[in-house]
Chain A
Amino acid sequence: DSGVTQTPKHLITATGQRVTLRCSPRSGDLSVYWYQQSLDQGLQFLIQYYNGEERAKGNILERFSAQQFPDLHSELNLSSLELGDSALYFCASSVAGGMDEQFFGPGTRLTVL
């Protein structure tokens, strides 16, 4: 158990809908990262937040947004969902966000029908 929690574990929804994935980092970690793993693809970095501020951005679609709240938990919002958004979404956290190792949560499996 890494200490990073993600909810929900599974999510099934329809195209065009909007969902919110939630992540609570390990106690004391200030950075939160979001990753997407689609079928036959490696982990793709989406976005990083550090102490409430956006720190780095990867290939995150405009339909996706994220935020980190004062209590350091983070949410990833996915809107106008398409079939291709079906994937495993991981959240990870690290102490500061520089060269630290990242601790991964169990992931949220999103299925868009």
Chain B
Amino acid sequence: ILNVEQSPQSLHVQEGDSTSFTCSFPSSNFYALHWYRWETAKSPEALFVMTLNGDEKKKGRISATLNTKEGYSYLYIKGSQPEDSATYLCASKAGDFGNEKLTFGTGTRLTIIP
């Protein structure tokens, strides 16, 4: 993996269903994995920052896991609600010491169907 990749690109989920999506990132020179929620016409809002292999974070109905050895993270949303409709971005912080950069994926666009 050379870049940060997210799948799927878009997703339609029925209200009340649970869903998950994936972020893949290069595992070399890795420092941290960020998840952001980006609603239309707004700016990205931080959800989680994870650094250690096996990290799990939770905020309400949203949770995330991190596998730094194989270079992937999952974001889970339980019992989707219309307000969960947004683009979910992941970003990997990596690079040489002193020049670490945050590289964003292109996002998963989630639409919740009432």
Residues on A facing B (Cβ under 8 Å): 2, 33, 41-45, 48, 55-58, 90, 92, 98-107
Contacts and interface: CB of A to CB of B under 8 A. Distances in A.
Given A42-B106, A102-B102, A56 B95 contact: yes
Contact of A43 (B51, B89, B93): B89
Given A33-B102, A43-B89, A58-B101, A99 B51 contact: yes
Contact of B43 (A48, A56, A104): A104
A56 B46 contact: no
Contact of A104 (B45, B48, B105, B106): B45
A106 B45 CA distance: 11
Interface in B18-73: 31-32, 34, 36, 42-46, 48-49, 51
Size band of the interface chain B makes with A: 20 to 34
Contacts of A42: 89, 104-107
B20 to A, nearest CB: 20
B100 interface: yes
B104 A99 contact: no
Contact of A101 (B49, B89, B106, B107): B49
B7 interface: no
Interface string B102-114: 1111110000000
Interface string B58-94: 0000000000000000000000000000000101010
A43 B104 contact: yes
B80 to A, nearest CB: 23
Residue in A42, A90, A92, A102 with the greatest tally of chain B CB atoms within 10 Å: A42
Given A42-B107, A43-B89, A101 B34 contact: yes
29 contacts: A41-B106, A42-B89, A42-B104, A42-B107, A43-B89, A43-B91, A44-B104, A45-B101, A45-B102, A45-B103, A45-B104, A55-B98, A55-B99, A56-B95, A56-B100, A56-B101, A57-B99, A57-B101, A90-B43, A90-B44, A92-B44, A99-B31, A99-B51, A101-B34, A102-B34, A105-B43, A106-B42, A106-B43, A107-B43
